[in-house]
Amino acid sequence: MSEPIAYTVTIYTENNIGLLNRISAIFQRRHINIESINSSVSEIENVSKWTIVVKLHEDQMKKIIGQIEKQVEVIKAYFHTEDETIYQESCLFKIKSNLLFDERRQIESVIKDNNARIVTVNREFFVIEKSGRKEELEVLYRELSVFGIMQFTRSGRIAVTKDEMKISKMLEAFQH
Amino acid sequence: MKDTQTLDKEQTTTAKTMRISGSEAIIRCLIAEGVDILYGYPGGAIMPVYDELYKFRDQIHHVLTRHEQGATHAAQGYARISGKVGVAMATSGPGATNLITGIADAQIDSTPMVCITGQVASHLLGSDAFQETDIIGISTPVTKWNHQITKASQIPEVIAKAFYIAKSGRPGPVLIDITKDAQFEQFDFSYEKCKGVRSYNPVPKTDIDDVKAAALLINSAKKPLIVWGQGVILSEAEEELKAVIEKAGIPAAWTILGASAVPTAHPLNVGMVGMHGNYAPNVLTNECDVLIAIGMRFDDRVTGNLASYAKQAKVIHFEIDPAEIDKNVKTDVAVLGDAKESLSQLLPLLKANSHEEWHQKFKDLYAIEYEKVIKDDLYPTKEGLTMGEVLKEINIQTQGNAAIVSDVGQHQMIACRYAEFTTTKSNITSGGLGTMGFALPAAIGAKMSAPERDVVAIIGDGGYQMTIQELGTIFQQRVPVKIVVLNNEFLGMVRQWQQLFFEKRYASTEMTNPDFVAIAKGYYIDAQKVTKREDLKAAVAEMMACEGPYFLEVRVEKEGNVFPMIPTGASVSDIRLE
């Protein structure tokens, strides 16, 4: 059997308490690890959008999409390969401020080379932010870890698809 | 007709707003949904609702079960025999958690059910208050939908939605958790039935092109086989199925939950598929050229080893739930939609056929099964009563008109194999979950839902003792169910597996049983025990003639086995006859 591949799952749902539990239970029950999960507002008012990354085989992925769509409060679920989406993750690094004086040149070049930016600076620490693909964030992590990282956090993937998602039309159809 | 009229009247009375408590609103919602009976157990967090039930007791009948699990199974029995939504109610904490087995059973067997639980007051949520449990979290994976209400004003809309979701599309259980403060709160009540939920499409539209593709395959088939499931019963497509079978001359087999949709005696009914199903439909699943699955989900107990299941056949799947398509068996043609609708569209496209040679194969294999298994099950010559002959006697004396409610285990397989059904919705059993203890409370619900019908519960000595306390409910409510315990003093199915696959190491399967007749009599239920073949007929006659509830214990042979059998991991065509 071939290696599982990373799929980006996009789910449009009603914005209701408990839905996280219901969606994650579908993966948990099948002993599938969720690589990342993000929930936010979507392009439609009062409709939530979930972006989940999982590594699966295609037929397994299709079955799970069926199970997700079956949930009453799920409007529509899609899955896409990385080629079919534009995706980003975001990360924050908290680093000791003295490095800005002691290692200024090196730090500056790391920030510049990686297209990162400084969000805030104060007496004790400064914060670097970068958005990009996971691999790019990993490069920045490696380069900054030489200097010592006080705190690091990375968001789940967010993605938009190259193809259209006809959610608004679906919802309109329901009204009529 | 009468039902809708009362409903309409009720709807107009509730259309105007009135200021009432949340708990009164709950009862008014239930009445508006046509609920006449509900099953439950009171406790602290649901007391305001019970107080209202008392006030409305001439309009809605609450049945006090002896355990909340019993309430869910009774609600399931009520739903399965009628097609209506069963309702169960419990308090918070242990009351709510005790519902879970029945909810899980209803979920996997697609039974419409609404469960209402009380919850601690909203300001106490998350404080580990007395009898607080996260029942929404616990019930999420086993409900079609669930919702917590913390404000009285949410009650009408949520309950309306609950009934709509439970009943529509592929049915299932819904749990509504209502905090105690919401039950007390006064609000302006009006009720409107739910007509749709925007994120939920209960019945996918049938595509006529798919129906045509299916008809094309069926019309060119030389050896077609239909396997139907409960979907036929849930969509009330029995007549449509029969018309399809008869026109195209297709042998038709059923899954355990599909039983009774077409009468047992119908010449094209070739029996049950699956682990303990009939020989012919199992073997010939691997010989048919077109397999037509209707409202069934290719459960592993039906398919055996998927790697060698109907590989030679083109597969057509009529199914309401898109998630079932290609889940276990890859289909060549999937026809989405409600079975009644899609079979109606299929019928005119089918060519009349008889497939006589193909039928003969079923008859030949039946003859083998009859010689090797059925004859000894139904007409035993050896000493020791068989479960099969008890079923045969019940068939004879009820003329196949009884609803059979079976528990889980050997007796269940025997009941489903040998019960002769003339009427649909008559085989009530726990299929997917295999819940021991299901039958006694489910029989209560079935009988109360269809008082005009004979309801016979067939139960093993193991499962009987899991919900035996429901005898108290039967006694208090005077529910005239007939209870037959087939006592082999073993957990028979597990023992059979121990014999066949664990070298007869009977680990914890032997039962030292109490005096079941004395227990029944302790609940003032007429009862007797049969140990000899010659007494069976008269005992069944006495049971069926009894106006009230009746308990019959039949001592059957201790180490009888259920055959045919597809061992786990084997192919359907490797089904064993001995």
Residue identified by tokens 């601690």 is B120
Please tell me the predicted confidence (pLDDT) of residue A1. Answer: 67
Residue B578 maps to a domain: no
Residue B77's CB is within 10 A of a number of other CB atoms, namely 32
Residue of chain A nearest B327, judged by CA positions: A63
Provide CB contacts within 8 A for B15, sequence distance 6+. B190, B191, B192
Record the tokens describing residue B329, joined without a space.
Answer: 């068996």
**A&B contacts, CB < 8 Å:** 50
The pLDDT tens digits for B79-95 are 999 999 999 999 999 99
Q: Has the ipTM of the complex gone over 0.90?
A: yes
Q: pLDDT confidence of A166, banded at 50, 70, 90?
A: confident
Reply yes or no on whether the pLDDT at B15 is more than 90.
no
In whole angstroms, what separates CA B427 from the centre of its chain?
Answer: 7
Confidence of residue A176 (pLDDT cuts 50, 70, 90): low
Using alpha carbons only, give the angle B206, B209, B214 rounded to the nearest 5 degrees. Answer: 90
Q: Strand, helix or coil at B405?
A: strand
Domain CATH for B77: 3.40.50.970
Taking the CA of residue A72 and the nearest CA in chain B, the distance in Å comes to 5
AA identity, residue B1: M
Those residues with Cβ within 8 angstroms of residue B69's Cβ, 6 or more apart along the chain or in another chain: B98, B99, B101, B102, B437, B441, B467
> Nearest 5 degrees, angle CA B380-CA B385-CA B391?
85
User: Cβ contacts (< 8 Å) between B326 and chain A: which residues?
Assistant: 59, 62-63
Domain region containing B289:
208-362
- Indicate if B29 and B97 belong to the same structural domain: yes
My answer on whether B245 and B392 are in the same domain is no
Phi, psi of B330 (to 5 degrees): -70, 130
Given a cut of 50, whether residue B177 has pLDDT beyond it is yes
CB B265 within 8 A of CB B419: no
Inspect the interface and report whether the beta carbons of A75 and B326 lie closer than 8 Å: no
Do B295 and B230 contact (CB within 8 A), yes or no?
yes
Q: What is the pLDDT of residue B8?
A: 44
Residue pair B446/B399 in contact (Cβ under 8 Å)? The answer is: no
B570 lies in some domain:
no
Residue B42 lies in a domain: yes
CATH number, span A86-154: 3.30.70.1150
Please give the Cα distance from B410 to B485 (Å, whole number): 12
Does A18 sit within 8 Å of B140, measured CB to CB? yes
pLDDT tens digits for range B17-32: 899 999 999 999 999 9
For residues B77 and B116, give the distance between their C-alpha atoms in angstroms, rounded to a whole number: 17
Does B263 lie in the same domain as B141? Answer: no
- Within a domain: residue B182? yes
- pLDDT value of position B100: 98
* B569 within domain boundaries: no
Q: Are B298 and B383 in contact (CB under 8 A)?
A: no
Catalytic residue numbers of B, as ranges: 68, 130-131, 180, 493
- Domain shared by B66 and B22, yes or no: yes
Confidence grade of residue B192 (pLDDT, cut at 50, 70, 90):
very high
User: Domain total for chain B?
Assistant: 3
pLDDT digits (tens, 9 = 90+) for B197-244: 999 999 999 999 999 999 999 999 999 999 999 999 999 999 999 999
B103 three-class SS: helix
Q: Is residue B65 part of a domain?
A: yes
pLDDT at residue number A172: 79
E strand intervals along B67-134: 86-90, 113-119
Kindly determine whether residue B323 and residue A69, on different chains, have CB atoms separated by under 8 Å: yes
Mutate to test the interface with A, among B122, B139, B179, B198 (most CBs of A within 10 A): B198
Give residue A173's pLDDT. 77
Q: What is the pLDDT of residue A174?
A: 73
Average pLDDT over residues B386-392: 98
Cα dihedral value B256, B262, B265, B271, nearest 10:
-30
Q: What is the pLDDT of residues B36-60, one digit of tens each?
A: 999 999 999 999 999 999 999 999 9
Look at the block and give the residue holding tokens 């059997």. A1
CB pair distance less than 8 Å for A59 and B326: yes
Q: Are B179 and B280 found together in one domain? A: no
Does a cis peptide bond (omega within 30 degrees of 0) precede residue B564?
A: yes
Q: What are phi and psi of B405, to 5 degrees?
A: -110, 115
What is the per-residue burial (b if ≥16 Cβ within 10 Å, else e) of B416-452? Answer: bbbbbbebbbbbbbbbbbbbbbbbbbbbbbbbbbbee
* Domain boundary pick from B335, B362, B389: B362
**Boundary (domain end) residue, out of B362, B394, B425:** B362
Instruction: Report the alpha-carbon distance of residue B25 to residue B187 in Å, rounded.
Output: 9
CA-closest candidate to residue B347, choices B224, B247, B231: B247
CB B414 within 8 A of CB B565: no
**Pick from A66, A73, A13, A60: nearest CA to A33:** A60
CA-based nearest distance B462→chain A, Å: 29
Rounded to a whole number, what is the distance in Å from the CA of A1 to chain B's nearest CA? 15
A5-80 — its CATH code?
Answer: 3.30.70.260
pLDDT tens for each residue of A65-102: 999 999 999 999 999 999 999 999 999 999 999 988 88
Q: What is the CA radius of gyration of chain B?
A: 24
Say if residue B219 is in the same domain as residue B258. yes
Distance from CA of B504 to the nearest CA of A (A): 34
pLDDT at A40 over 70: yes
Residues of chain A within CATH 3.30.70.1150 domain(s) are 86-154
B373 lies in some domain: no
Residues in A touching B200 (Cβ below 8 Å): 72-73
Based on the domain organization, do B134 and B19 belong to the same domain?
A: yes
Give me the amino acid identity at B472.
Answer: G
Does B219 map to a domain?
yes
* Domain at B291, CATH number: 3.40.50.1220
Which pair of tokens denotes residue B123? 């300001």
Residues A174, B198: C-beta atoms closer than 8 Å: yes
> What are residue A95's DSSP bridge partners?
A126
Chain A residues contacting B via beta carbons under 8 Å: 13-14, 16-18, 21-22, 25, 29, 59, 62-63, 66-67, 69-70, 72-75, 171, 174-175
Query: Are B322 and A29 inside 8 Å of each other by CB?
Result: no
Q: Which of B199, B323, B327 sits opposite A72 (nearest CB)?
A: B199
Instruction: Judge if B184 and B52 occupy the same domain.
Output: yes
* Shortest CA distance from A27: residue in chain B: B141
Q: Are residues B482 and B537 in the same domain?
A: yes
Taking residues B531-557, report their average pLDDT.
Answer: 98
Q: For residue A72, which residues of chain B lie inside 8 Å, CB to CB? A: 144-145, 165, 197, 199-200
Beta bridge partners, A92, equal A129, A153
